[in-house]
Amino acid sequence: MYRKIIILLSVIVSLLLIVVLSYNLFLYAGSRAYDFNGFRITDKSETVVHRKEVKDSSIRIKAHLLSTLSNKNAFLTNRAKLAKQDSIYLSFQIADSTLSLEMKGVALFTAKISQIKMSGIFKDIPDSVLNEWLSSPFTIKSSLSSIPKEDIVFRKAPKDTLEYMATATTPEAISFDPTYYRLSFDRGLDLYVLQQEEAPKAKRLFFRQLNLANLKTAADSILSGALPPFTPWIKIELKQEDALTIYRSLPNFGQMALSFK
């Protein structure tokens, strides 16, 4: 008897959750509005932005040059700030398709990006809002990866000094594990780093992990009475060894200077 009552209550709760989830997702899909650094982007605001576009080509060119200079100035300022710290940080130049590890203003390692994709929302953001968003370095809040952060090596204790010296001078083997990861930064930015080499099984497993994490975040938001968060993203592809080097070299809460232009 009690078992039937528990099963019935479970079914009712499940149905209620499905109804609430469906309703909130309907509202979310219908709203077509996103908060970006305090700027509300909707169909209406997009129309307003387009309406404000000046017709004079010379003024448009000057506005574009001013925006580019502002973007580059923010990028250089952020790198200067990060160079004062005793820590490795990322320098990401989208226009040059490069991702670098730097310390004290010196490039320690630079990877060439083979492919870049990003959220369409970046096309709808006014330059002034985008430049304000880029005005300070980004800090990693969390990460999700197909590989461990640190390569764990198990060694047998040496019997004597000669065996120890032989082990100490043996170079470490390079890991060729499929490398996929997401770096979630503050101020709402996800950076996906994917190896360019094909590894279908590992890639499927990684994105399955991502989908489960995103589903949990959406469910938590809906149960708390809020809409699922929208996070702008950038996806890049690198050589496997480059992606691995960058991931394992970065501190857990590392920082990044970002430039679009």
Cα(250)–Cα(88) distance, integer angstroms? 6
Q: What one-character-per-residue DSSP string does the chain give?
A: -HHHHHHHHHHHHHHHHHHHHHHHHHHHHHH--EEETTEEE-HHHHHHHHHT--S-HHHHHHHHHHHHHHHHHHHHHHHHHHHTSSS-EEEEETTTTEEEEEETTEEEEEEE-SEEEE-THHHHS-HHHHHHHTSS-EEEEEEEESS-SS-----PPPSSHHHHHHHHTSPPPPP----EEEEEETTTEEEEEEESS--HHHHHHHHHHHHHHHHHHHHHHHHTT-PPP---EEEEEE-HHHHHHHHHHS-TT-EEEEE--
Encoded tokens for 129 = 């809002």
Specify the residue for token string 């398709």: 97
Please tell me which residue, 118 or 176, carries the higher pLDDT value.
Answer: 118
Between CA 113 and CA 111 the distance in angstroms is: 6
Q: So where are the chain's domains?
A: 1-31, 35-259
pLDDT at 51: 37
For residues 237 and 102, give the distance between their C-alpha atoms in angstroms, rounded to a whole number: 20
Looking only at the bridges linking them, the beta strands covering 255-259 and 89-93 are parallel
pLDDT tens, residue by residue, 84-133? 999 999 999 999 999 999 999 999 999 999 999 999 888 888 888 888 89
Given phi > 0 = left and psi -120 to 50 = alpha, else beta, which region is 88? Answer: beta
pLDDT exceeds 90 at position 7: no
- Tens-place pLDDT, residues 29-66: 444 445 555 555 443 333 333 334 444 566 666 566 76
Q: With the C-alpha atoms ordered 245, 167, 152, 138, is the resulting torsion angle positive or negative?
A: negative
pLDDT on residue 192: 98
Whole-model pTM: value is 0.72
Radius of gyration of the chain (CA): 24
Average pLDDT, the chain: 79
Q: Could you name the CATH architecture of 35-259?
A: Beta Barrel (2.40)
